């Protein structure tokens, strides 16, 4: 019998279900578990070493004791999972060979045993010196694809239109704004700090940006930047910002409902206080919620376009990197108070 190496496998587990905004104490770093550095024979699994993990607002939905969503909840006492970049270490699956890099849903732990039949949205990554590996979680990953699919498929932009993006310096918003500029639109973003507003105007190329925390009246703020009204609102926050946008949309405006990170709770009693929906009737507005997973057929086209734009210097991408698995809970929780500047990623291991 050959000896199989056994190593410690630190992991982040969910301690209990959460209804409101998650806190660090809802999760814990669990030490002491071990794992064999081998994919069991006959298991059709493959073993990966996790390199980067993605922190995304949708993950809070999986922390609830709620089974009616598009993704099942995490289980208390079990590891959390999310999108990650990992290297294959050993494999009992003929489609994956040791040394390959993959992106997909993996565990919040040092090593994960994955099975490709489990709908993990797995794809292989070709190493490219011009593109940081972690960008496969942001710019070239689920966040970037959400921006691309939402902007082109839901918003149907035309040159010269006026576009408003909330949470505009975040993982999704920063790319929406840049795609809109490349499409010949006038683009304004909102964010929650002076630093983020500066990034939007000076680094990300938005025409204008404002700090929503400094605006007593969001309706007045939107009228200041969009005196003629808004054609497209890409909504990442819901709540009072969506309500103000409804007062400022042009006839036949489009609103892409991407996320509602402002809501204190995702349960049905908290509807985010939308009072201005009536405006959608006389203005013939279209509001559409969407999930990037509905558009996988255009993923190859997205990769080709966005990689090209990045390599030509036509778009930039801002990332907020936390170092070490132990910082993952704080990194995830920080999304809900806007601590992150850009796409939040956790580095679990150095290549």
- What pLDDT score does 6 carry? 93
Residue numbers of the chain with a pLDDT score lower than 50: none
Interatomic CA distance for residues 35 and 8, integer angstroms: 6
- 309 Rama sector, left if φ>0, alpha if ψ -120 to 50, beta otherwise: alpha
**Cβ neighbours of residue 193 closer than 8 Å, sequence gap 6 or more:** 211, 213, 338
Q: What is the pLDDT of residue 119?
A: 76
Contact (Cβ atoms closer than 8 angstroms) between residue 328 and residue 346: yes
CB atoms within 10 A of CB 5: 8
**Do 152 and 175 meet the contact criterion of CB atoms below 8 Å apart?**
no
Domains along the chain?
Answer: 6-138+318-347 (3.90.180.10), 142-293 (3.40.50.720)
The whole-number pLDDT of residue 272 equals 62
pLDDT tens column, 284-293: 999 999 999 8
Does pTM surpass 0.75? yes
Query: What pLDDT sits at residue 120?
Result: 79
Confidence (pLDDT) at 171:
95
The residue assigned the tokens 């024979």 is 41
Measuring CA to CA, which residue among 342, 334, 299, 335 is closest to residue 124?
A: 299
């Amino acid at each position: 019998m050959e000896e199989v190496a056994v190593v410690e496998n630190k992991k982040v587990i969910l301690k209990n279900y959460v209804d409101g905004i998650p806190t660090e104490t809802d999760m814990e770093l669990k030490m002491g578990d071990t794992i064999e550095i081998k994919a069991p024979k006959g298991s059709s699994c493959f073993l990966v070493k996790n390199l980067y993990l993605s922190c995304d607002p949708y993950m809070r939905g999986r922390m609830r004791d709620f089974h009616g969503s598009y993704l099942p909840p995490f289980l208390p006492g079990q590891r959390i999972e999310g999108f990650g970049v990992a290297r294959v270490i050993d494999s009992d699956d003929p489609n994956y060979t040791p040394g390959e890099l993959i992106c997909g849903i993996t565990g919040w732990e040092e090593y994960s045993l994955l099975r490709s039949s489990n709908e993990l949205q797995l794809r292989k990554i070709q190493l490219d010196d011009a593109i940081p590996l972690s960008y496969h979680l942001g710019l070239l990953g689920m966040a970037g694809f959400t921006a691309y699919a939402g902007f082109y498929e839901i918003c149907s932009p035309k040159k010269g239109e006026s576009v408003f993006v909330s949470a505009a310096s975040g993982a999704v918003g920063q790319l929406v704004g840049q795609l809109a500029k490349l499409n010949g639109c006038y683009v304004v973003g909102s964010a929650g700090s002076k630093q983020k507003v500066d990034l939007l105007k000076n680094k990300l190329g938005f025409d204008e940006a404002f700090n929503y925390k400094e605006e007593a009246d969001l309706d007045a703020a939107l009228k200041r930047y969009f005196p003629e009204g808004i054609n497209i609102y890409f909504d990442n926050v819901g709540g009072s910002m969506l309500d103000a946008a409804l007062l400022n949309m042009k006839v036949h405006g489009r609103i892409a409902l991407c996320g509602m990170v402002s809501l204190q709770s995702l349960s049905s009693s908290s509807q985010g206080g939308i009072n201005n929906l009536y405006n959608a009737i006389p203005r013939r507005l279209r509001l559409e919620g969407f999930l990037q997973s509905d558009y996988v057929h255009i993923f190859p086209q997205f990769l080709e376009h966005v990689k090209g734009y990045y390599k030509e210097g036509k778009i930039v991408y801002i990332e907020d990197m936390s170092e070490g698995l132990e910082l993952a809970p704080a990194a995830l929780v920080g999304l809900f108070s806007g601590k992150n500047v850009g796409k939040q990623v956790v580095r679990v291991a150095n290549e």
